[in-house]
Structure 1
Amino acid sequence: MDMSQHDLHTLFAQLGLDNDEQAIRQFVSQHKLPANTAIQDAPFWNQAQASFLRESLKQDAEWCEVIDELNTLLH
């Protein structure tokens, strides 16, 4: 069982992005999504990032809550 912490900081690290507080705020302010665009379909992800998001959501993985949190921030 995966006992690691799942929060925005670890999600950003998992996605290969800078994960300090300022970097997260900057990312969110620069990457807004239209209401009809799913987070995993956002044009700013590379293929690996989009696949991770898609598979995590599909499998209802432990990352889902924090992915939903990021989704809310981006919309």
Structure 2
Amino acid sequence: MDSVFHPLSDLFAQLGLPSSADEIDAFISQHAPLSSYIALADAPFWSEAQAGFIRESLEMDADWVEAVDHLDARLRSAG
């Protein structure tokens, strides 16, 4: 089975968020750094639907997991 690569811009669009490179950087700057004690899906800035999508992507190792992991890493290292 071939996996599909989704860039961060596609993940942001899927989450219903502005998805240009500048908008993604602004989102990360606004919400980082995310504490290591908080799971990405449990971060307070997600809507219930967004958190559910992130949680499901991670649990099911879905096509989106690489983009979700990338976002997680950027939110934890930025700030």
TM-score, normalised on structure 1?
0.92
Give the partner amino acid of 2:8.
L
User: How far did 1:23 drift?
Assistant: 0.3
CA distance, structure 2, for counterparts of residue 2 and residue 17 of structure 1: 27
Gaps spanning 5+ residues in structure 2: where?
A: none
Which protein has greater RCO, CA pairs closer than 8 Å, 6+ apart?
2
RMSD: 1.6
User: Percent identical across equivalent pairs?
Assistant: 51
Say if 2:5 and 2:64, in contact at 8 Å, map to a contact too: no
User: How far did 1:35 drift?
Assistant: 1.3
Give the partner amino acid of 1:47.
E
User: How far did 1:5 drift?
Assistant: 4.7
CA distance, structure 2, for counterparts of residue 61 and residue 48 of structure 1: 16
- Superposition misfits of 4+ residues, deviation over 4 angstroms: 1-5
Q: Is the counterpart of residue 70 in structure 1 residue 71 in structure 2?
A: yes
Task: Tell me the residue number matched to 1:16.
Answer: 16
Task: Tell me the residue number matched to 2:28.
Answer: 28
What CA deviation, in whole Å up to 9, does each residue of 1:37-73 have, x standing for no partner?
Answer: 1110100000000000001111000100110000000
Gaps spanning 5+ residues in structure 1: where?
A: none
TM-score, normalised on structure 2?
0.88
CA distance, structure 2, for counterparts of residue 2 and residue 18 of structure 1: 28
Give the partner amino acid of 1:44.
F
